[in-house]
Amino acid sequence: MKQLRVLFSLALALVLAISVQAQESGYQIGDKASDFILKNVDGSMVSLAGMSNIKGAIVIFSCNTCPYVVAYEDRMIDLHNKYAAMGYPVIAINPNDDKVSPGDSFEKMQERAKEKNFPFPYVYDKTQEVIKAYGGNRTPHVYLLNKEGNDFIVKYIGAIDNNYQDASAVTKRYVEDAMSAIMAGQSIAVTTTKAIGCTIKWTKTE
Amino acid sequence: MKILFAYFFLWTWIGVANLENASSNNPTVFEIITFDDFEKMMADSSPKIKVYNFWATWCAPCVKEMPYFENVQAEDPSIELIFISMDDGRKPERVTNFIERRGVKAPVYLLNDVDYNKWIDKVDPSWSGAIPATLFIKPDGSKYFHEGEVDENELKSIIQKLK
């Protein structure tokens, strides 16, 4: 009986260790990003494979309610307008649970996309499987993907730039610098950055 | 004579009461600081466990957990609570209004440096940058970092483990 109990607690510890590991993991630079099929605000389903002629994508975990996201919305539009024609569209993904954060519901996403006239897909990761696979932990959180063969490889993870308050005071354009390096076939100087952001509103599992 | 004594006693009592009243009405410390200032603050030695809670007025889970921190501080004299605001440094009145409206007692510092990638790792390498987040520094200088929301019991058990 005692042995059984020891065995059981060992097994439990192992399961716990694995789940902690899974939470902390997510993509690193150079990893293959998995595709997704998520519902866009226009009702269509969006996937990387379904976007014709793309060479990559600027995937941004985003939402309606975070002031940092709001501060960056116009810059997200600019990024899309600049890079979509070159094969790198912005894809904004809202991972927030709408019970925990009612302002992040699909209907509110549709409203926000209409208000701001988003030129890029704004899709809902309702099951939070995509953000878990990517390892995003705040909004906004950028994953820059480059298509190599049939795979989408993670090239940059982090912030859009280094001043959310004032676009004109930015001194480091992380995403644009990474895009320039990709375009020029050079290696990216700064591949990961951190920024203050809003927590992901995870689904409660009670 | 008795009356005089009573008067004297009454006045002394009022005086002490006023003094106490005045000290509890002291305005909450509020200051706008740079990251250098914050680094010095982290390095200052203290006989207490310093608890730096990173928050912002617009952050719902942050605002929700603030009273838990103030409650624990009120009950536990071994804690020194400091709120670090991530609000917009150009609009400090949002923070001062919040302090007044909510009756925040612990000191509040607005860390006014938006070049986040430069300093987040210096607070703690495990921090993704999401708020709320809390840094605990023990009297011996060792650190414990918690990213995300806590409730009052979780907070107490973290502090218990650090003692």
Complex-level ipTM: 0.82
CB-CB neighbors (< 8 A) of A196 in chain B: 86, 116, 120, 129-131
- d(CA A193, nearest CA chain B) in Å: 6
**Any A CB within 8 A of B128 CB:** yes
Closest Cα in chain A to B149 = A199
Is the CB of B128 less than 8 angstroms away from the CB of A138?
yes
Contact list in A for residue B127 (CB cut-off 8 A) is: 194
Helices and strands (H, E) in chain B, number of each type: 6, 7
| Residue A116 placed within a domain | yes
Look up the domain containing A59 and give its range.
28-199
| String of DSSP letters for B53-77 | EEE-TT-HHHHHHHHHHHHHHHH-T
Q: Does B88 touch chain A (CB under 8 A)?
A: yes
In a domain, residue A81? The reply is: yes
CB-based burial, A79-90: b 16+ in 10 Å, e otherwise? bbeebbeeebbb
Do residue B130 and residue A159 have CB atoms under 8 angstroms apart? Answer: no
Given a cut of 80, is residue B50 above it in pLDDT? Answer: yes
* Predicted confidence band of residue A25 (pLDDT cuts 50, 70, 90): confident
- Provide, as residue numbers in chain B, all residues whose Cβ is less than 8 Å from the Cβ of A99: none
Query: Is pLDDT of B4 > 80?
Result: no
Give the chain B residue nearest A171 (alpha carbons).
Answer: B115
Query: Which amino acid is residue B129, in one-letter code?
Result: G
Scan residues 89-118 of B and list those with Cβ closer than 8 Å to A.
90, 114-118
Q: Is residue A5 part of a domain?
A: no
Residues A147, A115: contact at Cβ < 8 Å? Answer: no
Query: Which residues on A lie below 8 Å from B121 (Cβ)?
Result: 194
Does domain B28-162 match CATH 3.40.30.10?
A: yes
pLDDT tens per residue across span A130-164: 999 999 999 999 999 999 999 999 999 999 999 99
The whole-angstrom separation of Cα A178 and Cα A187 is 8
Residues in A closer than 8 angstroms to B148, CB to CB, are: 199
Q: From CA A194, how far away is CA B10, in angstroms rounded?
A: 61
Tell which of B90, B115, B119, B150 to mutate to test the A interface (max A CBs under 10 Å): B115
User: CB of B125 within 8 Å of any CB in chain A?
Assistant: no
CA distance B9 to B1: 12
pTM of this structure: 0.84
pLDDT range class, residue A3, cuts 50, 70, 90: low
- Give the pLDDT confidence of B6-45 residue by residue, as tens digits: 544 444 444 444 333 334 457 889 999 999 999 999 999 9
Q: Over the stretch B92-144, which tens digit does the pLDDT of each residue have?
A: 999 999 999 999 999 999 999 999 999 999 999 999 999 999 999 999 999 99
Confirm whether A13 is domain-assigned: no
B114: chain A residues, CB-CB within 8 Å: 162-165
Contact B130 A164 (CB under 8 A): no
* Nearest neighbour of A193 by CB, restricted to B56, B117, B149: B117
Helix-, strand-, coil-residue percentages of chain A, each rounded to 5: 35, 20, 40
Q: Choosing among A194, A200, A204, A206, which should be mutated to test the B contact, i.e. which has the most B CBs within 10 A?
A: A194
Give the gap in angstroms from C-alpha B58 to the nearest C-alpha of chain A. Answer: 8
Of B60, B117, B131, the CB nearest to A159: B117
Residue among A163, A193, A197 whose CB faces B114 most closely: A163
Beta strands A151-158 and A32-33, pairing class: antiparallel
Q: Does A137 touch chain B (CB under 8 A)?
A: yes
- CATH number of the structural domain spanning residue A148: 3.40.30.10
Quick one: CA dihedral B24, B155, B114, B123, positive or negative?
Answer: positive
Q: Looking at A29-73, which runs of residues are DSSP E strands?
A: 32-33, 38-40, 45-46, 56-61
Which DSSP string corresponds to B10-21?
A: HHHHHHHHHHHH
Q: Which residue, B85, B108, B127, is CA-closest to B30?
A: B108
In total, how many domains does chain A have? Answer: 1
Radius of gyration of chain A (CA): 19
* Residue positions counted in chain B: 163
Q: Which amino acid would we find at residue A126?
A: K
